[in-house]
Structure 1
Amino acid sequence: MSSVQLTHPGIDADRWPDVARVPATSGAARRAAALLVRHAVARLPLCVEMPDGRRLGAGGPTLEVRDADAFHARLAADGLVGFGESHLAGEWEAPDLVAVLTVLAEHVATLVPGPLQRLRGLWAPRQPDRNRNTPDGSRRNIAHHYDLSNDLFALFLDETMTYSSGIFHDLPADHGDLVEAQHRKIDRLLDLAEVGPGTDLLEIGTGWGELALRAAARGALVTTVTLSAEQRDLARRRVAAAGLADLVSVELRDYRELTGRYDAVVSVEMIEAVGAEFWPGYFERVHALLRPGGLAAIQAITMPHDRMLASRDTHTWIRKYIFPGGQLPSVEAVETSLPHGLHTVRRDAFGPHYAQTLRLWEEAFTARADEVARLGFDDVFRRMWRFYLAYSEAGFRAGYLDLQQFLLRRDPAAAPVVPEGR
């Protein structure tokens, strides 16, 4: 078979062109991909079951290949992006998807042979220029994910509508612990930033407003900004319903547009949407917005520095389908992006808590799949979303990803950078 242009007539080829169509590849390319798979999994604690009954790998969680030609064609043409698209097309399955992806995440640095790794710049697809997080690009990238539907997020998030990791009292935890875990996370960040009565607080990245609500309940005056119109509208309704509109202002603004001076800045898992080229500018803005001596509490998903450097310019599956323009920093990247006068006071890691949070979200999403469908999201979308949640959980379970809370302080002796706008 040289290629199959449309493997799944039931998949909307206009909506999902690269899932519906298998890329045209030569038999030699598919055989080379098959050889690479055999080499990659030979010593992994994984079982890859082929359609002809062969089993590859050293044994462990099972990856079931349903269509070997299509699977190998996608790997040959698009590497790990093709691997994800093959799952969306149903060409491979896994009874325990997280377990399979965890094994792969644990060995990600060795899945591709060393010589090919060194030539990554030649074969790995580059991020499209349109995904750069310029002011206009950021708005498009944020809308792609966060403006999908508030109703969709409400189906798998807890009642706080908090879309970031909780911090649990004990692990493992269950769904009944999630609200408390989210409040514990938010309160910890507010405590780190010393937010209390009269604090002039800026939140960069509103989410759906829970942090702003809890800060205002402490008596803080809160300005919170987002690029998601859906988030802004719901956050405003929640603030009004809580009777806190006199303390909370929810604005649709880019962080680069902000002026004024604040006692504290809090930003939860927003830096991942900033883009590596803009990290120094982001932290310069945080520095400029803080009063001398002010504190910033930043929660961020991080990855190892060497892997960040290897993948930061690559068009990955997660960037193509979930977070266009997204880039996880390393701890080193954060530290080297800080301007003079803004320094780290402390840093705490909570990676296992994110793995648990993601597990609870995936369980809720799966349990309510019929309701997701009634919102108009088709089968490919639902498979994509489950793959994204499992892919993310696996990263944390493998230790490939981590969760950090940084506490930053502006040097009290630092000179003002922007005019007093308030």
Structure 2
Amino acid sequence: MRTAEPRSATPRAAHAATAAVDAARWPDVAAPPRASRARIAVTTAVVGRALEQLPLRVRFADGTWTGRGGPVLDIHDPKAFYGRIGAQGLVGFGESYMAGEWDAPDPVAVLTVLAGNAARLIPAPLQRLRGLWALRRPRAQRNTPDGARDNISSHYDLSNDLFALFLDDTLSYSAALFRGFPATWDLLAAAQHRKIDRLLDLAEVREGTRVLEIGTGWGELAIRAAARGARVTSLTLSAEQRDLARLRVEEAGLSDRVRIDLCDYREARGTYDAIVSVEMIEAVGAEFWPVYFRTLDKRLAPGGRAVLQAITMPHDRMLATGNTFTWIQKYIFPGGLLPSVEAVDQTVREHTALTVTRRDRFGAHYAETLRLWRERFTERADEVAALGFDDTFRRMWSFYLAYSEAGFRSGYLDVQQYLLTKENPSP
């Protein structure tokens, strides 16, 4: 039920859409797919009822509001907002933000409430009919060898300069490990090194260790492993990352110890004492999880140690949404899918001779990492624009960082460090 806005209420934020959307670059944002009147009516009723029950204060352009109070969600264009959700579900919700049809003074707070109530936003009967109304993931995003190259390139080959604007000097694009909260920007690089060093310690990387890294990033882990005296082979599918990582390795004087190849994990050769893979499994896809873990098993020498850092989601939500096409998959990480802890355990158990020896979770640290990235990205918006990224891209990227931070703050998402071991065969 909507209520008239009290006179003492805080004025609504100005409409966020300050520039026209480039229809050639953002066709579905500029002209969203249309839903039938019946579907929009159902969406309006279902979403409206959900908003009434949430600890939010939802304000509409006509001065009415709904919700039980809490972080403010401003819906500037209700017709477009409900229409997009009716046509595209959560993809439409994100596109509506990109178009400026809704906004929030504190998007993370609003998205944290939504993430924390994700399983209850849609009534159970409609949840059971998800296959009839949810968008299906396009086959073009399958993580076959060719598909994986395209999927990785679409995100990581955007621009090294873009990532450098909001990452710290280590260029680490994964959860840091802080000593305490709240974290500050000047502590981020040290926290990233703390995370990397913990991974290398778990893998027992030292002088002479043969290390395979699956997912190079921009080379910081390979550099730190080589500085310990290890010999590192690192694999990436991003040409932009490979080129900059090679340059950074050369500048560190470690080219004789680090080899960086543009290579799919399925094409890896040789055996290694240690394998390290940081937040790469999210790009593998459930179809190929068995292949990924069998690769770890095959490439790891007897007595070796494989260490993974993985973002995870609840198992029931993974099962319910595993085939659904999401906003993140459409705009940020095509082909991406987060595993659950149960899915990792089951895949390792059923497809390898490896043992999950240890697992440590630290999701709160990812929330802080994302906050620092998001704030930095916002502060440097003019420099992002100077690189050629338009207003719609900047809203999209801000939404992605806020959306991800909210997932960790709500507990819907978590991040794990895994130690997998491989026993020596009996003499």
Aligned to 2:323, the other structure's residue is in SS state coil
Deviates more, 1:36-45 or 1:12-21: 36-45
Q: Residues of 2 paired with 1:86 and 1:324: CA distance? A: 19
1:366 maps to 2:378? yes
Do the aligned partners of 1:355 and 1:393 also contact (CA within 8 Å) in 2?
Answer: yes
Matched, 1:409 2:418: no
Shift of 1:22: 3.1
Q: Which amino acid aligns with 1:360?
A: L
- Deviation at residue 25 of structure 1 after TM alignment: 3.4
What's the counterpart of residue 387 of structure 1?
399
Distance in 1 between residues matched to 2:334 and 2:39, nearest whole Å: 29
Mapped partners of 1:26, 1:129: distance in 2: 26
Q: Which moved more, 1:69-78 or 1:231-240?
A: 69-78
Distance 1:256 1:165, change over 3 A: same
1:70 aligned to 76, 80, 87, which one? 80
The gaps in structure 2 that reach 5 residues or longer are 1-16
**2:71 alignment counterpart:** 61
Q: Say whether the 8 Å CA contact 1:8–1:20 is kept in structure 2.
A: no
Give 1:52 deviation, angstroms. 1.5
SS at match of 2:53: coil
Aligned counterpart in structure 1 of residue 231 of structure 2, from 211, 221, 228: 221
Match for 2:353 among 328, 341, 345?
Answer: 341
User: What is the letter of the counterpart of residue 269 of structure 1?
Assistant: E
Report the equivalent of 1:42. Answer: 52
Tell me what 1:186 maps to. 196
The 8 Å contact of residues 188 and 369 in structure 2, kept in 1 or not, is answered as yes
Distance 1:251 1:26 in 2: 50
The equivalent residue for 1:320 is: 330
The one-letter amino acid paired with 2:268 is: L
Amino acid at match of 1:109: A
Tell me, in whole angstroms, the C-alpha distance in 2 between the residues paired with 1:294 and 1:340.
Answer: 14
- 1:58-78 alpha-carbon deviations (Å, 9 max, x no partner): 010011011111111101111
- Secondary structure (helix, strand or coil) at the match of 2:301 reads strand
Distance 2:167 2:371 in 1: 11
1:133-179 deviation line (CA, Å, top 9, x unaligned): 00000000000000000000000000000000000011111001101
The code of the aligned residue for 2:199 comes to L
Contact kept, 8 Å, 1:204 with 1:266, in 2: the verdict is yes
Give matches, 1:255-404, under 5 Å. Answer: 255-338=265-348, 339-404=351-416
TM-score (norm 2): 0.94
Q: How far did residue 50 of structure 1 move?
A: 1.3
Does 2:31 match 1:21?
Answer: yes
Q: Which residue number corresponds to residue 212 of structure 2?
A: 202
State the Cα distance separating 1:8 from its structure 2 match.
9.6
CA distance in 2, matches of 1:378, 1:315: 25
Q: Which residue of 1 aligns with 2:13?
A: none
Task: Measure how far apart 1:53 and its partner are.
Answer: 1.4
SS in 2 for 1:49: strand
> Aligned partners of 1:199, 1:292: CA distance in 2, in Å?
13
| Equivalent AA in structure 2 for residue 313 of structure 1 | N
Alpha-carbon RMSD: 1.3
What corresponds to 1:254 in structure 2? 264
Q: Distance in 2 between matches of 1:148 and 1:121?
A: 33
> Does the 8 A contact of 2:293 with 2:352 survive in 1?
no
The amino acid that maps onto 2:188 is L
Q: Work out the CA distance in 2 between the residues paired with 1:315 and 1:171.
A: 35
Measured against aligned partners, the alpha-carbon deviations of 1:376-395 in whole angstroms (never above 9, x if no partner) come to: 00000000000000000000
> Which secondary structure state, in structure 2, belongs to the residue aligned with residue 42 of structure 1?
helix
TM-score (norm 1): 0.95
Larger CA deviation: 38-47 vs 388-397: 38-47
Contact 1:8 1:89 in 2 (8 A): no
| Residue identity in the other structure for 2:275 | V
**Aligned partners of 1:367, 1:143: CA distance in 2, in Å?**
26
Q: Is the 8 A contact 2:19 2:391 kept in 1?
A: no
Runs (4 or more) in structure 1 with deviation over 6 Å come to: none
Q: How does 1:117-132 map to 2 (within 5 A)?
A: 117-132=127-142
Q: Distance in 2 between matches of 1:53 and 1:83?
A: 21
Distance 1:46 1:235, change over 3 A: same
% identical aligned pairs: 65
Instruction: Give the number of aligned pairs.
Output: 409
Q: Classify the secondary structure of the residue corresponding to 1:117.
A: helix
Q: CA deviation at 1:31?
A: 2.9
**Separation in 2 of the partners of 1:120 and 1:36?**
14
Does structure 1 residue 145 correspond to structure 2 residue 155? yes
- AA at the equivalent of 1:246: D
Query: Contact between 1:167 and 1:185, CA under 8 Å: does it hold in 2?
Result: yes
SS class of match (2:402)? helix
How far 1:24 moved relative to its partner? Answer: 2.6
Q: Distance in 2 between matches of 1:366 and 1:253?
A: 34
**1:235 match:** 245
1: distance between equivalents of 2:92 and 2:60? Answer: 17
Deviates more, 1:140-149 or 1:76-85: 76-85
The 1-side partners of 2:136 and 2:213 are apart by: 32
